[in-house]
């Protein structure tokens, strides 16, 4: 190889270029990436709903010696705790050795709900010798993507007597699955003329759950009665119990490697479990001097509302409780706190170049991606992080050799989106978005790179250091 010219050297020193993390990683680090992905796939398969992901996180925390915290409990340096909110969100936290009034909290906020198809409160009917559940979709989905794929039913039902049962049908190899019907192409002329938003309409997202008539000539709705009988036999349920249920249909397939080189992962619900898993493991694996909180929250996909979404006072209360328990002034604590709002972003997709501005798009495998701002139409509704805070995070990443990138969600005015960042920032906590680029986001089968997953984990470790 010949000597570099002065111009080449100068170009290297002055120019910025994203790096493909697979290319820069050593063979040992590459192996770490692939090994880490195996644990993540287990999390994906076991935690398809916020309730299940919450349970998974609690069990993982318990295994690492974390114990349950309730409001009012005493806290001391070194404590390892988890705080469960209604079984749907959880904060895993660890009290550091630093004075939290001066040092603040290090918060990683990610979400464990994902777009899906929820079952209505009075859902069951039969027609055309088929029995269905009526649904109301949850989060931003392209409805047509949810037809003609195997679906599993997950959730909880509170019975008449007040007891709660957990339901999961369609995950075990021998389980039946469910589906939403679509029309054959032969009769799809009108449907295929579009628009795409109307190919399948909300009230057509009915989940097929049975076809066997009950053996009694004297009853009507025989297939519905068979379905009810099976549910009654298995779960003690009757039709009225749907009134107090939270059931949803999610893709029944498991997380799989994609590509002959196995570099990518295809699965339901990478958004936002691809950030929640690193956020969980980073805190469990960490021995930070800081007081760190990993918040795995619910309801992000419908605006962070309700008692379990990040806008709920419960998270602020928890931070205040921690401050008070440690004898610190909460206002000072939060003023000195820092947060990574950890949510996914759109990966540049060469099949749809028109919606991206390539220079400021997240490139697959170039590491976890920082979005200084999100929002739509002129940064509206966005937490726009300060250059100072971005600079601080950048420095922390550089000192730990984190391969990362920045991006915006698509072209200016192509659309937009938001995360929990703006709600955390409102508490007077410096916050910036950081998360994994996803291909086919919000589809039943989303794609991420193992390099970006691992980069996200490394970024969290650097942030907590």
Q: Which is nearer to Mn ion, 124 or 439 (CB)?
A: 439
In the numeric block, the tokens 């008692």 are attached to: 307
Question: In the bound complex, what is the minimum distance in angstroms from residue 441's beta carbon to Mn ion?
Answer: 7
Q: Which is nearer to Mn ion, 343 or 452 (CB)?
A: 343
Give the x-and-dash track for 217-256 against Mn ion (CB under 5 A): ----------------------------------------
- Find the binding residues for Mn ion in span 340-359 (CB under 5 A): 343
Question: In the bound complex, what is the minimum distance in angstroms from residue 210's beta carbon to Mn ion?
Answer: 32
Question: In the bound complex, what is the minimum distance in angstroms from residue 424's beta carbon to Mn ion?
Answer: 14
Question: In the bound complex, what is the minimum distance in angstroms from residue 205's beta carbon to Mn ion?
Answer: 18
In the numeric block, the tokens 């066997």 are attached to: 212
Whose CA is closest to 132, among 242, 234, 252? Answer: 242
The rounded radius of gyration (Å) of the Cα atoms in the chain is 24
| Residues whose CB falls within 8 Å of the CB of residue 180, separated by 6 or more in sequence, listed in order | 117, 146, 147, 148, 149, 151, 200, 204, 205, 206, 207, 208, 249
| Sole window of 187-195, 261-269, 272-280, 377-385 interacting with Mn ion (rule: CB under 5 A) | 272-280
Question: In the bound complex, what is the minimum distance in angstroms from residue 291's beta carbon to Mn ion?
Answer: 25
Q: Which is nearer to Mn ion, 282 or 346 (CB)?
A: 346
Q: Distance (Å, rounded) from C-alpha 422 to C-alpha 383?
A: 5
The angle formed by the CA atoms of residues 60, 64 and 70, to the nearest 5 degrees, is 80
Q: Which is nearer to Mn ion, 302 or 325 (CB)?
A: 302
Q: Binding Mn ion by CB under 5 A: which of 79, 103, 271, 446?
A: 271
Cβ proximity of 223 and 214 under 8 Å: yes
| Sole window of 190-198, 271-279, 366-374, 404-412 interacting with Mn ion (rule: CB under 5 A) | 271-279
Q: Which is nearer to Mn ion, 140 or 211 (CB)?
A: 140
| Beta strands at 437-438 and 345-346: parallel, antiparallel or unpaired | parallel
| Residues whose CB falls within 8 Å of the CB of residue 175, separated by 6 or more in sequence, listed in order | 152, 169
Q: Binding Mn ion by CB under 5 A: which of 272, 298, 446, 452?
A: 272
| Sole window of 4-12, 210-218, 312-320, 337-345 interacting with Mn ion (rule: CB under 5 A) | 337-345
Question: In the bound complex, what is the minimum distance in angstroms from residue 384's beta carbon to Mn ion?
Answer: 18
Number of chain positions touching Mn ion (CB under 5 A): 3
| Sole window of 39-47, 251-259, 338-346, 392-400 interacting with Mn ion (rule: CB under 5 A) | 338-346
Q: Which is nearer to Mn ion, 96 or 418 (CB)?
A: 418
Q: Distance (Å, rounded) from C-alpha 273 to C-alpha 187?
A: 39
Question: In the bound complex, what is the minimum distance in angstroms from residue 465's beta carbon to Mn ion?
Answer: 25
Q: Distance (Å, rounded) from C-alpha 319 to C-alpha 95?
A: 12
Position 113 contacts Mn ion (CB under 5 A): no
Q: Which is nearer to Mn ion, 343 or 430 (CB)?
A: 343
| Sole window of 121-129, 191-199, 266-274, 347-355 interacting with Mn ion (rule: CB under 5 A) | 266-274
Question: In the bound complex, what is the minimum distance in angstroms from residue 101's beta carbon to Mn ion?
Answer: 32
Interacting residue ranges for Mn ion, rule: CB under 5 A? 271-272, 343
């Amino acid at each position: 190889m010949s000597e570099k010219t002065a111009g080449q050297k100068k170009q290297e020193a002055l120019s910025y270029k994203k790096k493909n993390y697979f290319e820069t990683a050593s063979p040992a680090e590459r192996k770490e990436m692939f090994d880490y992905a195996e644990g993540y796939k287990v999390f994906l398969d076991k935690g398809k709903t916020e309730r299940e992901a919450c349970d998974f996180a609690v069990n993982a925390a318990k295994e690492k010696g974390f114990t349950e915290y309730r409001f009012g409990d005493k806290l001391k340096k070194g404590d390892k705790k988890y705080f469960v909110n209604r079984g749907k969100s959880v904060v895993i936290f660890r009290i550091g050795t630093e004075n939290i009034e001066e040092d603040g909290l290090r918060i990683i906020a990610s979400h464990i709900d994902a777009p899906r198809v929820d079952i209505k409160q009075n859902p069951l009917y039969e027609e055309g010798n088929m029995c269905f559940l009526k649904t109301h979709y949850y989060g931003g989905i392209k409805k047509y993507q949810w037809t003609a794929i195997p679906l599993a039913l997950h959730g909880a039902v509170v019975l008449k007597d007040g007891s709660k049962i957990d339901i999961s049908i369609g995950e075990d190899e021998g389980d039946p699955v469910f589906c939403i019907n679509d029309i054959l192409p032969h009769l799809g002329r009108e449907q295929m003329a579009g628009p795409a938003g109307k190919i399948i309409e909300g009230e057509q997202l009915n989940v097929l759950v049975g076809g066997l008539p009950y053996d009694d000539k004297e009853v009507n709705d025989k297939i519905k009665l068979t379905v009810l009988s099976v549910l009654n036999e298995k779960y003690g349920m009757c039709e009225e119990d749907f009134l107090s249920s939270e059931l949803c249909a999610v893709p029944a397939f498991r997380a799989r490697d994609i590509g002959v080189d196995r570099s990518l992962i295809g699965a339901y619900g990478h958004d936002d479990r691809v950030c929640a898993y690193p956020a969980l493991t980073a805190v469990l694996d960490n021995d930070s001097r800081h007081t760190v909180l990993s918040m795995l929250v619910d309801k992000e996909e419908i605006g962070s509302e309700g008692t379990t979404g990040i806008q709920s006072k419960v998270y602020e209360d928890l931070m205040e409780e921690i401050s008070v328990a440690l004898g610190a002034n909460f206002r000072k604590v939060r003023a000195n706190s820092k947060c990574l709002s950890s949510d996914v972003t759109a990966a540049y997709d060469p099949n749809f170049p028109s919606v991206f501005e390539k220079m400021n798009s997240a490139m697959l495998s170039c590491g976890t991606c920082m979005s200084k701002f999100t929002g739509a139409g002129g940064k509206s509704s966005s937490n726009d992080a300060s250059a100072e805070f971005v600079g601080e995070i950048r420095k922390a990443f550089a000192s730990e050799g984190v391969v990362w990138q920045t991006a915006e969600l698509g072209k200016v005015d192509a659309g937009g989106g938001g995360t929990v960042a703006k709600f955390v920032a409102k508490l007077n906590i410096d916050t910036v978005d950081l998360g994994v680029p996803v291909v086919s986001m919000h589809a039943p089968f989303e794609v991420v790179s193992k390099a970006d997953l691992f980069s996200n984990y490394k970024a969290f470790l650097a942030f907590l250091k």
